[in-house]
Chains A and B, each alone.
Chain A
Amino acid sequence: MTVRQMADRLGLAVWVDEDLDRQVEGAYVADLLSDVIAHAPAGAVWVTLQTHANVAAVAALKELSAVVIVNGRRPEAEMLQRAREHKLNILGASEPAFEVAAKLYLAGLRQGK
């Protein structure tokens, strides 16, 4: 599915929509950026509660299709700005990571390569 379809399906808020037609090729849940750098598959949607500017840099680095910020948390202004610069997709969920991940799994997403 595309990022747009995922956002619609899960009722996600859209913070940055630079490339919503991008395919979501997997999923990864982590709050340590070093872990995402080491393990997140390219094209994955990254589910995290982190809201700071480095999230955008890491999402760009790993060529992730989208970032979903959970717990209704608000991305920091600098993160949104960097996300626009790097043409990323930043979405938001009011639910915690476990529920978001469960919904993504039920929607057919698997971790990816």
Chain B
Amino acid sequence: MRLWRADLHVHTCLSPCAELSMGPRTILAQAAARGLDLIGITDHNSAENVPAVVRAAESSAVKVLPGMEVTSREEVHLLGLFDRIEAVLAFQELVYRHLHGSNRPELFGLQVVVNEEHEVLGFNPRLLAGATELAVEEVASGIHRFGGLVVAAHADREAFGVLGHLGFLPPGLAVDALELTGDTAEEQLRRRWPDLSLLAVVCGSDAHAPGQIGAAFTEFATETISVVELRKALRGEDGRRVIRCRRARESV
């Protein structure tokens, strides 16, 4: 069993409202500097920069999980984390089918698609800042269908959080973990929503700028890095565990 320090919620320059400096090598360098073993690349409603980060990570000690942060029709954000690029790109097809509208770069950012050298390959023309037509349950089942993990993003935040927008965790919503990003401690969250009961909690940064990477992280004990291993850790199965979850503002 190994200990891995992970920030599973990192954006690239593809995401609306992310800094243009969030290119693959910058992200990986920051992650390494912060002592992270693993990052999840989770851009809004797209995974087009995942291949570049995964390729850049071949010469890095930091491992990368292909992912995406999907906006449901209720404007709830869910993270999907997958083992393979092929899985996230196949899931992307589903997301794109249910995402409409065109980007306005002057309002939402350039949405830059890059290669591993941070060279511009193009600009994503879709309204990645928009909401898909998929209900939150459909997003979750879609992620699971493609073999991914479902994390309710920044559940401690009201805006775009499952608890903030829906008022509770719907019984039919299959979520593998809730994510805390900042102010709320796990005990506070569980006290406020008692029916969260056994659901696992992870911490992630939601980094849109290099300095935010690793500001929050989760420590896992698993044999290797994979969706199967992480899911066991979230459930506390077979000796795999979540050791520690560190939010951005520990002093609060």
Contacts and interface: CB of A to CB of B under 8 A. Distances in A.
Interface of A: 32-34, 37, 50-54, 57, 60-61, 86
Interface of B: 17, 73-75, 101, 104, 107-108, 127, 129-131, 159
B9 to A, nearest CB: 17
A89 to B, nearest CB: 17
Contacts of B107: 57, 60-61, 86
16 contacts: A32-B74, A32-B131, A33-B75, A34-B73, A34-B75, A34-B130, A34-B131, A37-B101, A37-B130, A50-B159, A52-B159, A54-B17, A57-B107, A60-B107, A61-B104, A86-B107
B75 A32 contact: yes
A53 B17 contact: yes
Given A32-B75, A33-B131, A57-B107, 13 more contacts: A32-B74, A32-B131, A33-B75, A34-B73, A34-B75, A34-B131, A37-B101, A37-B130, A53-B17, A60-B107, A61-B104, A61-B107, A86-B107
A50 B75 CA distance: 12
A62 B77 CA distance: 23
B76 to A, nearest CB: 11
B contact face: mostly helix, strand, loop, or mixed: loop
A57 B101 contact: no
A37 B132 CA distance: 13
Nearest to B133: A34
